[in-house]
Amino acid sequence: MSRSGSAAPATVVVVPREQFSKAPISLESVLASTSVPLVYVDGNSPAAVQHYLQQTAQQRSFKLIRANHYLAANQARNLAIPYIDTTYAVFLDNDVVPWPGWLEALVQCAEETGAWAVGPLYCVGDGSDPSVPVVHQAGADCHISTIQGVARFVERHSPACGKPLAEVRQQLTRRPCELLEFHCLLVRMDAVHRFGGLDEGLLSFFDHNDFCLKARMVGGELAIEPDAVVTYLPPPPFARSDLAYFLLRWSQTWFSASLRHFCHTWGLDIQDPSFRDHIAYRIAHRRRAYTWWSTRPPGPRSSAADLLVEGTIGSLLERTLVRRLDQARRSGHSR
C-alpha cells in the first residue's frame, strides 16, 4: 500500500506525549512495520529532532505538521484530522514502539467486532531496554456510577498490569472493555467527526477517558486486541532538551485545568476520591524530571523529601517556566 494511498484502511497519526528524544526510535519502528499513510505532528521539538523529522518526511513521503510552540496531545491530534481520509485513524504517541503486525491486528479486530475503537496490549519499557516489557494496560473499566445520588468516577485496571508480559500473555484474549489509552488507539473516523473532534480542554489527563465515555454513551463498543502489542518508553534516560516540555506536560497547571474540564463535562465532583490516584501519578511521574541525569526511574512511592521538592521546586516551576510555556501555547494556538 502506498503511504499516500486513500485505499489504505488506516492513517497513522503520531503526536507528542511528554518528550522528543524517543521520536527517532518510535518513528523508525512505525515506518518499518507499516506502509499506510502517516501524519506526524511536531510540537516544537528541539532543532536536532526537527531536522531529523524534516529529512525523514521528505525521504519517506509522509505529512509533517510543525508548530513552533508546545502542544497538548488533543490539540495535536485535531491538527491532523483534516489530512485523514481513511476509515480509521491510529493515534500514536511519539515515544511508543509498535511490535510487528500491530496495525493489521488492530484493523482486523475493528472489522470483525465493529468496535468504534480498538487498543493493543500496552507495555512499558524501562526507557533503556524495551526488550523486557511489563504490561502497562490490558483494557480497563471506566464509567460513572451514581452512589447515594452522587455521580462517582470509576476506573479499574486489569490484574495483568505491572506484570512481566511473558507471565500473562497467554491469558490475555480479545475482549470488550470500557477504557483504552491514546498511547496507541485505533478509532473509526466517523466517531471522531461525530464528536466534533477531540476535546482540547483536556490538556494532560482524562483525554482517553473522555473519548471512551463518549463512544460508549452513544452505543459504540471498544475492544482490546492483545495480538497487537506496543511498548511505551518513558524517561529516564532524559535528553536535557526534553525537560521543558516534560515539566509542562506534567504540571499542576495542566492537570488542574484538565480535571476541572473533565468534571464539568461529566457532572463530577472535583473532590471525588477516585481522582487521588491520578494526582499521585502526576506527582510521581514528574519526579522523574528532578533526577533527569539518572538512567533509572525513581521508586513508585513518594517520600517526604519528594513531596517537599514538589512543593518547593515544583511550585517555583509552575510560577515561572510552566506559566510562560502555557501562555506561548495558548497564544500560538489561537492564531
pLDDT in tens, 118-157: 999 999 986 455 567 899 999 999 999 998 889 999 999 9
Identify the residue whose cell numbers are 461525530: 194
What are 189-212's pLDDT values in tens digits?
Answer: 999 999 999 999 999 999 999 999
Q: Is the same domain home to 173 and 209? A: yes
d(CA 249, CA 114): 34
From 171, 206, 232, give the residue that closes a domain: 232
Among 185, 201, 232, which residue terminates a domain?
232
Print the domain residue range for 228.
10-232
Are 148 and 73 part of one and the same domain?
Answer: yes
Query: Same structural domain for residues 81 and 155?
Result: yes
What distance in Å separates the CA atoms of residue 123 and residue 163, rounded to the nearest whole number? Answer: 10
Average pLDDT, the chain: 91
Are residues 227 and 125 part of one domain? yes
Residues 133 and 272 in one domain: no
Query: 126 lies in a domain?
Result: yes
Q: What does the alpha-carbon distance between residue 335 and residue 317 come to, in Å, rounded to a whole number?
A: 26
Residue pLDDT, tens place only, 43-90: 999 999 999 999 999 999 999 999 999 999 999 999 999 999 999 999
- Does some domain include residue 1? no
For residue 2, tell me if it sits in a domain: no
The identity of residue 137, as a single letter, is: Q
83 shares its domain with 160? yes
Query: Which domain-ending residue is among 232, 260, 294?
Result: 232
Residue 301 is assigned to a structural domain of this protein: yes
Closest CA to 258 of 73, 130, 100: 73
* Contact in structure between 36 and 299 (CB atoms under 8 Å): no
> What is the domain-level CATH number for residue 170?
3.90.550.10
* Sign of CA pseudo-dihedral 210, 215, 221, 226: negative
For residue 3, being part of any structural domain is answered with no
On whether both 158 and 85 belong to a single domain, the answer is yes
Span 165-181, average pLDDT: 95
As a whole number, mean pLDDT of residues 213-227 equals 97
